[in-house]
Amino acid sequence: MFTKILIANRGEIACRVASTAHRLGVKSVAVYSEADANAKHVAVCDESVAIGPAPAKESYLRADKIIEVAKATGAQAIHPGYGFLSENEDFAEACAKAGIAFIGPPASAIRAMGSKSAAKALMEKANVPLVPGYHGDNQDADFLREQADKIGYPVLLKASAGGGGKGMRIVEKSEDFKAALESCKREAINSFGDDKVLVEKYLTRPRHIEIQVFADTQGNCVYLFERDCSVQRRHQKVLEEAPAPGMTEERRRAMGEAAVAAAKAVGYVGAGTVEFIANQDGSFYFMEMNTRLQVEHPVTEMITGLDLVEWQLRVAFGEPLPKKQEELTIHGHALEARIYAENPEKGFLPSIGTLRHLHTPPAVNFELGQGSVAGNPAAIRIDSGVREGDAISPFYDPMIAKLIVWGNDREEALAHMSQALAEYQVVGLATNVAFLKRLVESRPFSQADLDTGLIERNHDELFPTPQPASLQILGLAAASLLSSEQTAGAAANDPWANTSGWRMNGALLRTLEFGEEGSTYPVSVSYRENGWTLGLNGASSVMTLVERQGQHLVIKVDGTAVRGTVVRAADVFHVFTGGAHYVLNYNDPLAHAGESEAEGGRLTAPMPGKIVALLVEKGKTVEKGAPLLIMEAMKMEHTIAAPANGTVEDLLYAVGDQVAEGAQLLAFKAA
């Protein structure tokens, strides 16, 4: 076995690889950018070396620097993780030339499967069923549009060198093709350095099912069953599970054998994933092969009890696969939820900020590599590359963690996931935790009515109309505020600082004004000997504080116990209770005296990013909703549209300019 490896990645996957290396007694070397100097993956590795500025092109994508560090530190092998250089054939070849083992497939396999077009041509020769489409080299826009017209709409445009949902567009009609193609190519060149695209028939209710394969240098290849990754947003996976619901043994074997054949056809070595699009009737088509470890590999580990990173290290070292196909079995059911810093209610717009408060469900300790997690029906695993106090920056993927649960069956796993999400608390930036909980508990997902359009098709159920904060929610916020005032007053040991509310001839009355988007709640408070009377909208309730331990409170409202956690960040109260997260703004009249309203109505950047296209000229008259410019942030494109009919008076930035969050992008005058 290797004695030292370098991990050419960051975040949770770097921490994940380091964990297995540590268990096997293998030293690990971390590389990091200036933005990641204090990152978790730097702390958990045995050594760490800085490799450049924050932008990935100047650090994590610098193959030459990474190989230099490997040589300097005596690392015998490089694990690329996923993303960055993991599927870069030139990097794999450079490692080989430097005498460093690449913990992944040979460059020839990456090359064969790295181009979606070439891979489909290869699969066509091997008689693997393909979705109707054009996968050739002719990239003329008019020609591609003609091909799309022949295939029939809707069609899917897909970056040939792509992955992770980048460079993909669904085109519903011919007249939209040109704009979609330009956007797709622009995103493809920025993400992969290659703007070649392919055109395919877009299936309306497909499932996304992938097969985990593993091959060694001695000609052995196995499949470690399937994962269902159908639940997606913007072509990126949200929830993954294994095994796939409704999978028959015959279909599993057919897909597994097809995946093994695909791997053998390119002389594959190591961990790989063959992805299929599957119709509801059970028919399936080859989509692509990812020549690396997948983000969702933990669900495979949970149902097999195997450590896939350990397998990667052993295969790269030249050892044979630890198990044969007939020795592999499925135990129970596993689910993975990707917890992101993003705002689902605003189109899943990525969020950046500092994790001011991070509370997770308790992870259950279990050892991978032992063959099974059976007998531990409450197994909860959290793969994360951040800690409380860390920042989610605009430079990299906004993932906070992967939450993985295991159960004896799917129903049990769903229950564990729902409970685990209810206990996951984040303050400091927007997250998709509440959305994930609604998704897991939704009728279509719980009943395994799966396809890639599940989220869009069930939009109203998954994005319900926000309900006004209840008196119990407001009571938790009020109790947190009032008890904090009392604690501060007592600590001051000054009678004039006493905040118990005592009055000689009557009760102290005051109003606490809380608010959330679109609503204001003036809560009247009357101090009592052992609590308070709260009033809202003409109704009143008696509230007492039963217990407080830090941010955790138990109150009684009219005799009914209410438990929750309240985290205060300046004048914002985050209330966690019953598996829900409420954000209440507190209007402190003393703190805000003299402040004026912020200027509104400007067209501003939703986050730091880069201007990639200007769609209007100065002086142009536009209608409400017209696209004005496109900016790229957090690896995605965002279109800024006209808020009303009006005139573009000035363009404040040019294509290629970097802009800060909140920066005014253009001057606009409404008609």
Residues recognised as catalytic: 292
- Cα-only R_g, the chain: 27
Name 397's Cβ contacts closer than 8 Å, sequence gap at least 6.
11, 83, 634, 635
22 SS3 class: helix
* C-alpha closest to that of 317 among 270, 259, 382, 381: 270
Cα separation of 200 and 152, whole Å?
A: 9
CA distance 418 to 439: 9
| Tokens 């490089």 -> residue | 78
Q: Given the structure tokens 């870069």, which residue do they identify?
A: 88
For residues 245 and 446, is the Cβ–Cβ distance under 8 A? Answer: no
Query: Interior CA angle at 610 toward 605 and 615, to 5°?
Result: 80
SS3 string of 581-607? EEEEEECCCCCCCCCCCCCCCCEECCC
Q: What is the spatial distance between Cα 457 and Cα 63, in angstroms, rounded to a whole number? A: 42
| Residue found under tokens 């590389």 | 31
- The three-state secondary structure class of 327 is helix
* Three-class SS state of 662: coil
Please, which residues have CB within 8 angstroms of residue 95's CB and are 6 or more apart in sequence? Answer: 67, 70, 78, 101, 102
Residue 575's DSSP bridge partners are 566, 582
Instruction: Return d(Cα 452, Cα 205) in angstroms, integer.
Output: 7
Tokens 């409380």 belong to 388
Give the start-end residues of each E strand in 385-529.
391-392, 399-407, 425-427, 509-516, 519-528
3-class DSSP state for residue 333?
Answer: strand
User: What letter does residue 266 receive in the DSSP assignment?
Assistant: T
Q: Hey, is 194 helix, strand or coil? A: coil
Contact at 8 Å (CB) between 51 and 31? yes
CA distance 216 to 331: 24
Let me know: does 659 contact 653? Beta carbons within 8 Å. yes
- Beta-carbon contacts of 22 under 8 Å, excluding residues fewer than 6 positions away, are 28, 44
Token couple for 321: 């696969």
Cβ burial of 384 (10 Å; 0-12, 13-18, 19+) is buried
Q: What is the rounded CA–CA span in Å between residue 444 and residue 641?
A: 33
Distance separating alpha carbons of residues 636 and 118, to the nearest angstrom: 26
Length of the chain: 671
Give the integer Cα–Cα distance in Å for 535 and 555.
Answer: 16
Q: Which two tokens stand for residue 275?
A: 């992805």
Say how far apart CA 19 and CA 46 lie, in whole Å: 11
Inter-CA distances, 13 with 7, 145, 372, 393, Å: 9, 39, 22, 17
Closest CA to 334 of 418, 410, 434, 252: 410
How many angstroms separate the CA atoms of 636 and 183, rounded? 11
Q: Which residues pair with 569 in a beta bridge?
A: 572
Report in angstroms the alpha-carbon separations of 490 from 102, 366, 476, 494, 496.
63, 46, 21, 8, 10
